Amino acid sequence: MSPANDILLSVKDLAVSFRSGDGVARAVDGVSFEICKGETVCIVGESGCGKTVSALSILGLIPSPLGEIVAGEILFQGLNLVGLDEERLRAIRGKKIAMVFQEPITSLNPVFTIGDQIAEAIEIHESLPRDKVHQRCLSLLKDVGIASPEERLQDYPHQLSGGQRQRVMIAMALSCMPELLIADEPTTALDVTVQSQILQLLATLQKRHGTSILYITHDLAVVSHIATRIYVMYAGLIVEQATTDRIFKSSKHPYTQGLLASLPSRLKKGQQLPSIPGTVPDPAHRPEGCPFHPRCGFAIASCRVEFPEMCDYGDGHLSRCPVLFESVSGKGDLP
């Protein structure tokens, strides 16, 4: 792993609980991850696994009193963001850590022009004269690839296309040159062609500004293009983490393997598309032992009762499946 002083964000044992009609549920149940300078880290998982909640907790955007962070630390440049007072948190939001959300049409305020909204992001953190702010907005729009930026600044969000709106969101997020950009499924709501453009854009911007990116998605295919390291989440836990290469070539968790197997690109012609049987458990009613065991083809008796700890495969590759770990380390056969 990289030396300690390169770590930008370090999340340790984060737990977030939500109150629902059924009681209290832990959407995130002990999650740890790190992001280093200049890296692109991806968190991958199905809907409901807690990845968005993890991302929202970083900036303190968990809707309370419904949800709250009940345990863990989020260390950003040495500062613990959990429990930090509002004023200091606000200084970090938008300036040091910025976020791009999933639905650009609802994430932009419909009654203000996009020029106003981008300018606002700049004005709140830096005191620049009007014309300089305007200049910055223009160059930001150019950077994200929006044509005729002068006119676009006067437009309202509903006048732009989905792809353009997301570019505006990215421009807004990058306006104060943050060190970390959190992107929560930014391309899920967009067409496939636009998706790849946005991905390309993020990669370019990262190279240019050296921003670290935390990319949240459910789409493994997307992940392969941009991520340095991947964390796979399931039922509020990280079940596997490794570099992209390792995940794709030799993943060591049944869930990850299942996800990979169900990618259409891996199919040969005439083969039936495999899928993981069963459904994601309700956060309030998670199974005992390993949360994945009801759907797992490798499950043995102990999986039903023992909570699986992380198994270390070296080089930062960790996986929460002792069954596969045992078989790799010599005991028993790989089924």
Partner 1 sequence: MLTFIGRSLIQKMVTLFFVSIVSFLIIHLAPGKPSQVNPLNPKFTPEILERFQKEFHLDKPLYVQYALFYKGLLTGKIVSWKDNRPVLRKIWNRFLNSLPLFIVGTLLTWTLSFPLGIRSAIYRGGIFDRTITFFSYLLISIPGFFFAYILIIFVVTRFHVPVIGMQTFGLVTTSWTPMAMDRVWHLLLPSVLGATGGIAILSRYVRTQMMEVEGQDYVRTAVAKGLPPDQVHYKHALRNALLPFATMFGLILPGLIGGSVIIESIFSWPGMGRMAYEAILARDYPIILTVNFISAVLVLAGTLLSDLLYLLVDPRIRL
Partner 2 sequence: MTDRTRTPLRWNQHLDAPSSPGKSRLQESWDLFVSNRLAIAGFVIFLVFLCVAVLGVFLTSGTRPVCDPSLVRLEEKLRPPLSRPNLKVLRPEEVPALKVYLFGTDELGRDIFSRMLQGAWVSLTVGFVAVGISVLIGIFMGGMAGYFGQKHVRSGHVLAVLLIGTGFALLSIGRWLASLPFLIAGGIMFLFSGGYSRTGSRNSGGTSLHPVLHFPVMTVDTLIMRTVDIMLCFPSFFLILTVVAILPASMYNIMIVIGLTSWMGAARFVRAEFLSLREQDFVTAARALGVGKFRIIFRHMMPNALGPVLVSATIGIASAILTEAGLSFLGFGVPPPHATWGNILSDGKNFIFDAPWLTFIPGIAILIVVLSFNLFGEGLRDILNPKLRERP
Residues that bind partner 1 (CB under 8 A): 59, 61, 86, 90-95, 98-99, 101, 103, 106-112, 120-121, 124-125, 156, 158, 169, 172
Angle made by CA atoms 214, 135, 203, in degrees to the nearest 5 = 25
Q: Quick one: what does residue 47 bind among partner 2, partner 1, none, with the CB cut-off 5 to 8 Å set by partner type?
A: partner 2
Minimum CB separation of residue 72 from partner 2 in Å reads 19
Instruction: Based on the shown chain and the rule CB under 8 A, indicate whether residue 217 belongs to the binding site for partner 2.
Output: no
The piece of 57-65, 125-133, 142-150, 319-327 that touches partner 2 (CB under 8 A) is 57-65
Residues 2-41, one symbol each (x = binds partner 2 by CB under 8 A, - = not), give ----------------xxxxx-------------------
Q: Would you say 262 and 279 are in contact if contact means Cβ atoms under 8 Å apart?
A: no
Site string for partner 2, 224-243 (x = CB under 8 A): --------------------
Q: Using the minimum distance from each CB to partner 2, give the nearer residue, 130 or 285.
A: 285
Angle made by CA atoms 257, 261, 266, in degrees to the nearest 5: 135
Contacting partner 2 (CB under 8 A), which of 48, 157, 163, 291? 48
The distance of closest approach from Cβ of residue 19 to partner 2 in the complex, given in angstroms and rounded to an integer, is 5
The answer to the question of residue 292 lying near partner 2 (CB under 8 A) is no
Considering only residues 102 to 131 of the shown chain, the ones binding partner 2 according to CB under 8 A are: 102-103, 106
**Rounded to the nearest whole angstrom, what is the least distance from the CB of residue 47 to partner 2 in the complex?**
6
Strands (E), 125-267: 180-184, 212-217, 229-234, 237-243
Please say which residue, 156 or 298, places its beta carbon nearer to partner 1: 156
Pairing of strands 97-100, 180-184: parallel
Residue 46: CA count within 13 A, CB half-sphere:
17
**In a 3-state reduction of DSSP, which class is residue 27?**
strand
Q: Which two tokens stand for residue 160?
A: 């732009």
What residues contact 62, with CB distance under 8 A and at least 6 apart?
16, 53, 56, 68, 69
- Please give the Cα distance from 313 to 325 (Å, whole number): 8
